[in-house]
Amino acid sequence: MSIFALQSLAGGFLDEDLENFNKIFDDWCIHFETYDEAKDIVETLDNKEAIDIVEITPLSYPKYYFTSLQGTIYATRQIEDKIICVVEPQMGANFRIAICDLKNRRVRLTKTHYKTVPSIEGAFANFGD
């Protein structure tokens, strides 16, 4: 379950108009089902030397796959058919662990709140053990 997107060497993802780069990968960014499709489009662009083809997966970019996942994501890992994320739901809020189900694309936040990144690291590292 992955897609391919076009990314500028300076950062940002190519928008569907094939001229502008968005800082965040979202629904407006052009994406492809295969690497070859992406490569075909890159070959038609004037600045193809400045564009990389990147693979986007639920593990590398969970917000795209789980649209209900809100906030800043600091870490992700996969355990069986779930993506586990350390998330700050709102700026300045306590950290939480989000459990994202790959089968039904549902997101659930654990009940525990963590005040600092070091306090959540142990829970995140041992989640599922």
pLDDT digits (tens, 9 = 90+) for 58-115: 888 898 888 889 899 999 999 999 999 999 988 889 999 999 999 998 999 999 999 9
Q: Is residue 75 domain-shared with residue 105, that is, in the same domain?
A: yes
Q: Is residue 51 domain-shared with residue 11, that is, in the same domain?
A: yes
Q: Is residue 85 domain-shared with residue 112, that is, in the same domain?
A: yes
Q: Is residue 68 domain-shared with residue 27, that is, in the same domain?
A: no
Q: What 8-state DSSP symbol labels residue 71? A: S
Whether the pLDDT of residue 1 is over 80: the answer is no
Give the pLDDT band of residue 10 (cuts 50, 70, 90).
confident
- Residue ending a domain, choose from 12, 37, 56: 56
Q: Is residue 38 domain-shared with residue 71, that is, in the same domain?
A: no
Number of domains in the chain: 2
Q: Is residue 37 domain-shared with residue 52, that is, in the same domain?
A: yes
Q: Can you give the residue range of the structural domain that contains 86?
A: 62-125
Average pLDDT of the chain, as a whole number: 89
